[in-house]
Amino acid sequence: MIPLRRLFSTIILLSIAIILPAEAHNRSQSFSSWSIDQQNLSMLFTLKEREATRFQPNDNLSNEASLISHLEKTIEVRQAGAQCSARAPLQAMTAEPGYLRIAATYSCARALQDIAPEIQIGSFFSLVSSHIHYARIGIDNRAPLEYLFTEGRQQQVIETGDSDWSTSFRQAFLQYTALGMEHIFTGLDHIAFLLALLLMLRSLRDVIWLVSGFTLGHSITLSLAVLGWVTPETAIVEALIGFTIALVAAENIGCRTGVNRQIAYGATAILALMTMLSVSQLVPSTLPVISFVGLIIFTLSYLPANHGRSTIQIRPLLSLAFGLIHGFGFAAILQEVGLPSEQLWPALLGFNIGVELGQLLIVAAVWICYLRLKRYRDFTAAAAEVCSALLCGLGLYWFVARSYGPAIG
């Protein structure tokens, strides 16, 4: 009965995994810079040219023309409820190779320094719900203001009045805190990793130690990467995140069934096969051979040695080590979005705190569910096995797909 249940759950997982995206951090993004001069608000909108391919194909329109048409419908500037009109049609400007740049100037009825304008940017959200737009507003000789637009926050009132350092600090901190929370809630791989870690825990003390380890780990590498002290290879980090999920979930199954060694040998066989494919260049991998060798050594050293309570005791250290890898994943999205140079530390601090808040909410929700269901021991045991099988298959899928993405995509 139990083997059939595990087999069934694994099949379900693999079916689900096939339709899930392999790249959880490849976000759709755009950027704009704005300058205010009396009643006029000038804009330069920039994005990667490949983003314009999201529009419906039209042989009569170039990518630039399609983008202009889209921006005309999705960008508005208002002042005191009245719409500010475009002084001239939007036009394409010279951009770096691989990018598109569109210019526009909006004219309002009164001086923008006296009555703050409201900018609405709804571009691309109907096409990609996870799209992020990063806007920089320049006002006179003051430090520019930074604004983030997301699907849930498409309107921003621009603070054109006199602002001091504390105002700019608060703005950067709050916006990046919100971005950090949005990222953890939309980062399926980070959520999957947290769930895999939590499935073996039985006390609040264990949960606190686990969360502390993960927090410390990803905070260290997030800061190192964003500050430019360490430059990780994004493709390698993404593949390793998938491996962390698969390994922790497989360990859950091994501890519950006593087959840690068998799982370790099976995982080693998969890694050895991937290593041979990489060496032979039959299927080129984004992971170097030395990475596969390191993963084999780690798997053989770690999995067979842990079982039962010893696994729970070592989980905080494991979450710390794997948190270092996930921190580079957090840094990748933050580096793509960009950080305000004038308010680097409040933005970095806000993003990290936002990630922590989102993480704590997820952990709290899982813990509450466990407290309500723990009296049903047979059910919780079966649910833990099923969830571990699902997460193991999902992590394995991400690991393989991200390791060979360019070759098999």
Per-residue pLDDT of 217-262, as tens digits, reads 988 998 888 888 888 888 888 899 999 999 999 888 888 777 888 8
Per-residue pLDDT of 142-154, as tens digits, reads 666 778 888 888 8
CB atoms near residue 15 (< 10 Å): 10
Q: Is 60 exceeded by the pLDDT of residue 1?
A: no
Cβ pair 246, 392 in contact under 8 A: yes
Q: How far apart are CA 397 and CA 239, in angstroms?
A: 10
* N- to C-terminal Cα separation, the chain: 38
To the nearest 10°, the Cα dihedral for 250, 253, 255, 256? 170
**Which pLDDT score is estimated for 310?**
64
Environment class of 265 (CB within 10 Å of its CB; exposed 0-12, middle 13-18, buried 19+): middle
Q: Which residues contact 114 (CB under 8 A, 6 or more apart)?
A: none
- The token pair that represents 229 in the structure block: 């002290």
Q: How far apart are CA 281 and CA 278, in angstroms?
A: 5
The vertex-264 CA angle with 262 and 265, nearest 5°, equals 65
Per-residue pLDDT of 328-356, as tens digits, reads 888 877 776 666 666 678 878 888 898 88
Per-residue pLDDT of 7-54, as tens digits, reads 444 444 444 444 444 444 456 778 888 888 888 888 999 888 888 888
Query: Averaged over 174-197, what is the pLDDT?
Result: 83
To the nearest 10°, the Cα dihedral for 361, 366, 372, 374? -150
- The token pair that represents 235 in the structure block: 């493709």
Cβ pair 330, 176 in contact under 8 A: no
Share of residues in the chain with pLDDT > 70 (%)? 83
CA distances from 90 to 76, 102, 105, 106 (A): 12, 7, 8, 10
Give which of 78, 54, 12, 3 is closest to 392, Cα–Cα: 12
Cβ pair 132, 29 in contact under 8 A: yes
Per-residue pLDDT of 113-135, as tens digits, reads 778 888 999 988 888 887 888 88
Pairwise pLDDT comparison (3 vs 379), residue with the higher score: 379
Per-residue pLDDT of 165-182, as tens digits, reads 555 677 778 878 887 887
**Which pLDDT score is estimated for 87?**
82
Cβ pair 326, 334 in contact under 8 A: no
Environment class of 235 (CB within 10 Å of its CB; exposed 0-12, middle 13-18, buried 19+): middle
Per-residue pLDDT of 102-116, as tens digits, reads 999 998 888 877 788
